[in-house]
Amino acid sequence: MSKHNFFQQLRQNFPKSLDTPAVWAGELTYTWRDLDEATAMLANFLDSLGVEKGSRIAVQVDKSVEAMMLYLATLRAGYVFLPLNTAYQSSEIEYFIDNAQPAVVVCSPKNFGWVSKIAFKAGVKSVFTLGDQRDGTLLDRAAHHSREHQPANVSADDLAVIIYTSGTTGRSKGAMLSHGNIASNAQTLKSYWGWTKGDVLIHALPIFHVHGLFVAIHGALSNGSPMIWMDKFDPKQAIAHMAKGTVFMGVPTLYVRMLNEAALTPESTAHMRLFISGSAPLLKETFDLWRERTGHTILERYGMSETVMLTSNPYAADPRFAQQSERRGGTVGFPLPGVTLRVVDDQNHVVPTNEIGAIQVKGPNVFMGYWQMPEKTAEEFTSDGFFKTGDVGKIDNDGYVTIVGRNKDLIISGGYNVYPAEVESYLNNLPGIAESAVVGVQHPDFGEVGVAVLVPRPGAALDAGEVLQAMKGQLANYKVPKHCAVVDELPRNTMGKVQKNVLRETYAGLFKA
Ligand code: MCA
Ligand code: AMP
């Protein structure tokens, strides 16, 4: 039985009339039949490679409908999808491939040279290409396969996707999500956000992270709703699509950029049903301004790669919370149905209402652990099975959760996570640098960006511009600090620990609007 195969569950929600539009992508229209047949061909092709079930299919390609089809085909055939940000550079890709040991790697045609070299060196047998113009060897090869494919038998606990998340210490960890994890979350969000007949999703996010890959795609497909596909976010185009769309999902930067457009009005957004924000804190100012300019109230939700979605402001009245139906700016709403969320102190005791503590969660959506890191996995769970999110927050009298900070040293820049430890370790290895500290400061467009503070080695002449230039091409561009300062020494407390709060204050005004 393939009833636990998440692809099969999505497919059961495809509309009866398979020849109606499923995706509008520029000039092209893909029907539901196209989605079904193309994923079958790709799944048959993957099967023809003779790799074992559960093998990882690592994919670093530009956003395209075919890239989404490859994701769906991987689930369909019972393999494990491993999406990789297109910003990752060779040393990052080398780490992921060595760590995940994929059976198949798919990359952009333009990157085939260096990616295949890394892959073959790591023992990968099959490397294919997929471009954003339906080009590359993957589609050529899949074209010879049947348009029919019986979805693989999997159990709810079988691995479906590995999403790499960076770590506060050491290298990235692969969060393992099962078919059951992603299915339960998709099902919950479908009803909590009131997905309805006639909905049309404007898909504006990248598809190598949870927001664009899961929350957006699963939302539309599990409701049999078509998508307007944007290969890259553009604020003018996004607003123009609102004449036909009903649901938009974005990180706060996308809302900030749309607010800069004169075309954003009550009239241009009149057809829309729902605006959802997440992945980073939405400023109350952006929330209020959006309501003023459009008459719509953004619904903010909160999640993680390890857990998919955890909390959400209500779409309609939530009977569990005294019928609350208000979407409150600055909060992330209520734990989703099925999710248990608690706020605890250092002794792991639940704190009283309105008090701040560490957020821990439990539920069918919580991941299976980190790929080949049982000790790390054990550290991140409490003895009674709660996952430690690393976020700090509180729950108010009405049940609304507010995130007030993080106890992980993390910068969220335009919705992407940057771990200072990773950037510092890169900087500390550059010639002329004795030590470094990377901190996040407020930024009008990206919300937060990294600033690097460097101490030169004795006698070394450090040029901040050259350091930044050296980082580009070595680290994903969003990890490269937006400013670099050279100082004589870093501020330290009596224990010798770098006082990052002092640095944050020093550079706080650097990017003020
Ligand atoms: C691009 N740059 C960035 C970022 N994006 N720098 C910092 N932070 C970023 N997010 C770099 C570019 O490489 C460029 O560098 C310069 O900044 C300006 O680029 P720009 O053209 O403005 O960027 P863009 O191509 O328009 O991209 C901005 C973006 C993009 C559209 C906001 O970053 C984006 O799509 N963000 C969404 C991320 C996302 O989907 N997150 C969900 C994660 P240079 O000038 O040197 O070339 S899932 C998650 O977090 C959890 C589970 C959840 O709750 O959802
Ligand atoms: P990731 O590692 O990409 O899965 O990012 C997960 C982190 O993003 C969470 O642990 C939070 O710190 C942050 N996050 C996601 N949604 C929100 C939100 N609505 N408000 C504040 N932080 C958020």
For residue 314, pLDDT beyond 70: yes
Closest-CA residue, ligand 1 atom 11, reads: 478
Res 435 pLDDT > 70: yes
pLDDT confidence of residue 171: 77
**Sheet containing 447-456: order of strands:** 433-443, 447-456, 483-486
pLDDT range class, residue 401, cuts 50, 70, 90: very high
Average pLDDT over residues 202-213: 98
pLDDT at 126: 98
CB 76 within 8 A of CB 7: yes
Overall pTM > 0.95? yes
359, 392 contact by CB (below 8 A): yes
Q: Does domain 410-506 have CATH number 3.30.300.30?
A: yes
| Closest among 260, 305, 285 to 416, alpha carbons compared | 305
Band the pLDDT of 136: cuts 50, 70, 90: very high
Percent of the chain with pLDDT over 90: 96
Q: Please, which pLDDT band fits residue 2 given cuts at 50, 70 and 90?
A: confident
What CATH fold (topology level) applies to the domain 13-18+30-154? Answer: Rossmann fold (3.40.50)
pLDDT at 1: 59
Determine the residue of 202, 477, 479 to mutate for testing ligand 1's pocket, defined as the one with the most ligand atoms within 8 A of the Cβ atom: 477
| 371-389: pLDDT as tens digits | 999 999 999 999 999 999 9
Mean pLDDT computed over 327-352: 98
**Average pLDDT value for residue range 190-196:** 98
What radius of gyration do the chain's Cα atoms show? 23
Mean pLDDT of 231-251: 98
What's the pLDDT at 512?
83
Ligand number nearest to the C-alpha of 251: 1
Distance 56 CA to ligand 1 centre (A): 26
**Ligand lying nearest the CA atom of residue 87:** 1
Delimiting residues of CATH 3.40.50.980 domain(s) in the chain: 13-18+30-154
Tokens 């997929």 label which residue?
130
Compute the distance from residue 358 Cα to the ligand 1 centre, in Å. 28
Name the percent of the chain lying above pLDDT 70: 99
- Please name which of 337, 459, 326, 460 lies closest in space to residue 396, comparing C-alpha atoms: 326
Q: Is the pLDDT of residue 167 over 70?
A: no
Residue of the nearest CA to atom 50 in ligand 1? 279
The predicted pLDDT at position 169 comes to: 63
Ligand 1 centroid from CA 413, angstroms? 7
- Residues having CB closer than 6 A to ligand 1 are 205-206, 209-212, 233, 251, 253, 278-279, 303-305, 413-416, 446, 449, 477-478
To test the pocket of ligand 1, the residue of 416, 442, 472, 480 to mutate (highest count of ligand atoms within 8 Å of its CB) is 416
Question: What is the mean predicted confidence (pLDDT) over 207-225?
Answer: 98
Confidence of residue 264 (pLDDT cuts 50, 70, 90): very high
Q: Which residue has the tokens 């990157």?
A: 111
Please give the average per-residue pLDDT across 315-320, as a whole number. Answer: 95
229 near 65, Cβ under 8 Å?
yes
Q: What is the mean pLDDT of the chain?
A: 96
**pLDDT surpasses 80 at 255:** yes
Q: How far is the CA of 475 from the centre of ligand 1 (A)?
A: 14
Give the number of C-alpha atoms closer than 13 A to the C-alpha of residue 33, restricted to the C-beta side: 5
Among 39-48, 129-138, 359-368, 403-412, the range scoring the smallest mean pLDDT is: 403-412
Mean pLDDT of 131-149: 97
- Note the pLDDT of residue 358: 98
Instruction: Considering the chain, tell me which residue range(s) the CATH 3.30.300.30 domain(s) occupy.
Output: 410-506
**In angstroms, what is the span from residue 197 Cα to ligand 1's centroid?**
32
Q: Following CA atoms 161, 162, 166, 170 in sequence, which dihedral angle do they give, to the nearest 10 degrees?
A: 170
